[in-house]
Amino acid sequence: MVEATKAGTMSTAGFDFGRNWDDYSLARIDDERLRLAVDSINNLLGCDTIRGLTFLDVGCGSGLFSIAATMCGAARVIGVDVNQKCVDVSIRNWSQLSEKAENVTMPDFKVGSALDSTFMRDLGVFDVVYAWGSLHHTGDMWSAISNAAGCVKRPGGTLVMAIYNAHWSCAGWTLIKKVYNLSPRFIKSLFNLVFGGVIYAAKFLVTGRNPLQKERGMDFWYDVIDWLGGYPYEYASSKEIVERMQHMGFSLRTCVPPSAPTGCNEFVFDVAETD
């Protein structure tokens, strides 16, 4: 089965997200990146909101947000990824970033797929399930979303997702991603250079901001590699996501549209209240 789980995973016929997260971590991970990740969670959910709660990071990638959740006071954090390299990188990043931290418990990092319903069910239920930019890389996005939703505590739980927005250009990007992954390394390097410049210019024109100034502790150039190589690749409109989640018993708290048309819609869903 072709599968991957986050801007942080690998499929048998797709992109090695683990290698990209390893390169990113070695070159970029530091205390400032962690601070930005903590700020991101605080802005999204509120530090006091997750203090003492359980937190599941589906497709943990570099482990940065699993680690940030512990710094925000989450009582128990599990980070899962289908890619063993991502789990190894996450543990290494914890060793580096936790040196100055006191009274925080290491996240429990596990290898497993969001498409494995038994694995996901055995993880238990969590106050917060966080699946940022991961489920659209599994090869079966709707099954992955359903499995992640099944890990949300009922009542009172929260599901956070970032899913690629449907756009007329998505079919073209799908083809580019397939070609990228089938190309030798020097062609990939050329793709990175050419498309990096194109993406930089497009984002600057659309947003009016310097694309190098990334939020959430991310990095523009590693994101370019992730974007070009990120296959499997699926997408959906925000309307379609909201409707599907409503059928699963969730209500929308927040939806932040992407700054660029093919970027991610960012969702915060709560378990819907019942009469």
124 and 212 belong to one structural domain: no
Alpha helices by DSSP H, the chain: 17-28, 31-45, 47-50, 64-71, 84-97, 117-123, 141-149, 170-182, 185-207, 220-229, 238-247
First-to-last C-alpha distance (Å) of the chain = 41
Q: Is residue 125 part of a domain?
A: yes
Model-level pTM? 0.90
Confidence of residue 9 (pLDDT cuts 50, 70, 90): very low
96 and 211 belong to one structural domain: no
Concatenating the DSSP letter of every residue in 163-222 gives: EEBP-TTHHHHHHHHHHHHHS-HHHHHHHHHHHHHHHHHHHHHHHSS-TTS-STT--HHH
88 and 153 belong to one structural domain: yes
120 and 140 belong to one structural domain: yes
For the segment 212-256, what is each residue's pLDDT rounded down to a tens digit? 566 666 787 888 889 899 999 999 999 999 999 999 999 999 999
132 and 249 belong to one structural domain: yes
Q: What dihedral do alpha carbons 203, 67, 133, 118 form, nearest 10°?
A: 180
What local confidence, expressed as pLDDT, does residue 10 receive? 34
31 and 110 belong to one structural domain: yes
For the segment 33-58, what is each residue's pLDDT rounded down to a tens digit? 999 999 999 988 876 789 999 999 99
For residues 56 and 5, what is the distance between their CA atoms, to the nearest angstrom?
Answer: 13
Q: Is residue 63 part of a domain?
A: yes
Q: Is residue 7 part of a domain?
A: no
Q: Is residue 1 part of a domain?
A: no
140 and 239 belong to one structural domain: yes
Q: Is residue 218 part of a domain?
A: yes
Q: Is residue 10 part of a domain?
A: no
253 and 145 belong to one structural domain: yes
Q: Under DSSP, is residue 130 helix (H, G, I), strand (E, B) or coil?
A: strand
Q: Is residue 204 part of a domain?
A: yes
Q: Is residue 192 part of a domain?
A: yes
What local confidence, expressed as pLDDT, does residue 38 receive? 92
What local confidence, expressed as pLDDT, does residue 140 receive? 97
Count structural domains, the chain: 2
For residues 226 and 37, what is the distance between their CA atoms, to the nearest angstrom?
Answer: 18
For residues 209 and 213, what is the distance between their CA atoms, to the nearest angstrom?
Answer: 8
Average pLDDT, the chain: 89
Q: What is the greatest pairwise CA distance in the chain?
A: 60
211 and 99 belong to one structural domain: no
261 and 195 belong to one structural domain: no
For the segment 135-169, what is each residue's pLDDT rounded down to a tens digit? 999 999 999 999 999 999 999 999 999 999 999 99
Which domain covers residue 140, as residue numbers?
17-166+234-271
30 and 96 belong to one structural domain: yes
**3, pLDDT greater than 60:** no
255: β partners: 267
89 and 180 belong to one structural domain: no
The CATH number for 134's domain is 3.40.50.150
Q: Does residue 102 or residue 67 have the better pLDDT?
A: 67
**What are the backbone dihedrals phi and psi of residue 52, each rounded to the nearest 5 degrees, phi first?**
85, 0
